[in-house]
Structure 1
Amino acid sequence: MLEIRNLYVNYGNVEALHGINITVNKGEIVTILGANGAGKSTTLNSICGLVRAVKGEILFKGEPLHTRPAHEIVKLGIAQSPEGRRVFSTLTVKENMMLGAFTIEDKALIKQNEEWIYSLFPRLEERRSQLAGTLSGGEQQMLAIGRALMANPRILLLDEPSLGLAPILVKSIFDTVRTINKHGVTVVLVEQNARAALKLANRGYVMEVGSVVMEDDAAALLRNPEIQNAYLGGGH
């Protein structure tokens, strides 16, 4: 469904991605692991059209994405819940959600998506008319995911959804991601919490300084001694 081929991305004069290859099949949850600065967020941002490829291709169902502007990519069916949540703090929960639906003209579909998201995150429905800036971190994370889902995506890109959240909330958010996936949304997950991510995902890629250094089934990565030492050791 999504294919990244030999992708190179620069930030200024610095090469941030060095020819990475990643494949995501329909219906999968694929996780991208790696330390800070490995290029995980850059990878998601390049899929969304927020950073441009210097070389290589990104294909969605065979169609090139790397040549298109970001708003067209959302229309095609790819939405991101960004790192740090980036909710609009002076707007209400409902207004934030509606901004996620800016590419959709079908009012009935918008309503249907909104109701589905409130069923996934009942807390958001309770706080519909509250300003997003007054929500807790966990609620803001729910809102960031809900806002992305309002675009009716075929692929949901999640960038560090567990960052700064209490363990009980992390579990709840990951359970919801599983439910979203069962509804037919393919998920690409960038996550510091490697253990939780691998338990959720079908497959994983490990990145180090802009390169993919390993790819495997999630279960195999969980058992891999190198991964255990680097990412799962000592309860990190």
Structure 2
Amino acid sequence: MLLRIENLEVKYGNVQVLHKLNLNVAQGEIVTILGANGAGKSTTLMSVSGLVKPSGGGIYLEDKALHKLEAHDIVKLGLAQVPEGRRVFGTLSVQENLHLGAFTATDQARIRKNMEWVYEMFPILHQRRGQLAGTLSGGEQQMLAIGRGLMANPKILLLDEPSLGLAPILVKSIFATIREINKSGVTIVLVEQNARLALKLADRGYVLELGKIVLEDTAKALLVNPEVQNAYLGGAG
């Protein structure tokens, strides 16, 4: 198993946000985490990437205990996160943003190769490589955020709400790219408000409610599950 989350507990002050969460991701999978706002989806991802420290339980990447490491050391092990809201560095150029994604890398040839890969995947970023990231459209900033995550050469990529605020046509394009990234060998954990789109892309899914996993199944089974349809897919269909 590439990623294992075991009995994960997270508190913000006195408020418990995650309750004994168990979640597994196998090499090569796309796994989606569904749930309403405030269910604990982003907290789960931030715990995995070391931005939030658990109060209990463990997180393991190929048996390395991530919960004991700092965020930059977790990146070195091959895990990258594309945060909600994109968070590109607006006053830096596209190219500079991408270079920052490779801050833990030392192999210059590998950095160049990754940069070529990102530009091949997102030709618009190549055209705008000298442009300040803050002047890009929302869709281009999302492409840049994903590209920046890929510059770390991750085994596993965590994506937090990649479709947020984007026009439907751009969402389709971003999701097609996520599929391509996965086909290239990168395992993906996806938190996404568009549950239907996420389940059509994913292999498996977990449903999170108030910090607890209430359902776990193949994506196909979750798509036709009446509870999931009523809660997240706007009824049957």
Question: Structure 2 matches for 1:72-221, cutoff 5 A?
Answer: 72-221=73-222
Matched residue, 2:20: 19
* 1:148 positional shift: 0.4
Give identity over the alignment, percent.
70
- C-alpha distance in 2 between matches for 1:55 and 1:136: 40
List 4+ stretches of structure 1 deviating above 6 A.
Answer: none
Letter of the 1:87 counterpart: V
Give SS of 1:79's match: strand
- C-alpha distance in 1 between matches for 2:161 and 2:82: 9
- C-alpha distance in 1 between matches for 2:157 and 2:3: 12
Normalising by structure 1, what TM-score? 0.99
Any idea what the Cα deviations from partners look like across 1:124-168, whole Å, max 9, x if unmatched? 001000000000000000000000000000000000000000000
Letter of the 2:174 counterpart: I
* 1:234 positional shift: 5.6
Give SS of 1:21's match: strand
Any idea what the Cα deviations from partners look like across 1:79-120, whole Å, max 9, x if unmatched? 000000000000000000000000000000000000001111
Give SS of 1:233's match: coil
- C-alpha distance in 1 between matches for 2:227 and 2:234: 10
For the 8 Å contact 2:115–2:151, the answer to whether it is kept is: yes
* 1:201 positional shift: 0.1
For the 8 Å contact 2:229–2:235, the answer to whether it is kept is: no
Matched residue, 1:3: 4
Any idea what the Cα deviations from partners look like across 1:2-35, whole Å, max 9, x if unmatched? 0000000011111110110000000000000000
Letter of the 1:123 counterpart: I
Give SS of 1:161's match: coil
- C-alpha distance in 2 between matches for 1:190 and 1:16: 16
* 1:224 positional shift: 0.4
- C-alpha distance in 1 between matches for 2:7 and 2:198: 25
Give SS of 1:32's match: strand
1:31 matched to 2:32? The reply is yes
Normalising by structure 2, what TM-score? 0.98
- C-alpha distance in 2 between matches for 1:184 and 1:59: 19
Letter of the 2:121 counterpart: L
State the Cα RMSD in Å.
1.1
Letter of the 2:132 counterpart: L
- C-alpha distance in 2 between matches for 1:94 and 1:82: 19
Any idea what the Cα deviations from partners look like across 1:191-222, whole Å, max 9, x if unmatched? 00000000000000000111111000000000
Give SS of 1:90's match: coil
Give SS of 1:123's match: helix
- C-alpha distance in 2 between matches for 1:118 and 1:222: 34
- For structure 2, the 5+ residue unaligned runs are none
Any idea what the Cα deviations from partners look like across 1:56-98, whole Å, max 9, x if unmatched? 0001101111000000000000000000000000000000000
Matched residue, 2:45: 44
- C-alpha distance in 2 between matches for 1:87 and 1:64: 29
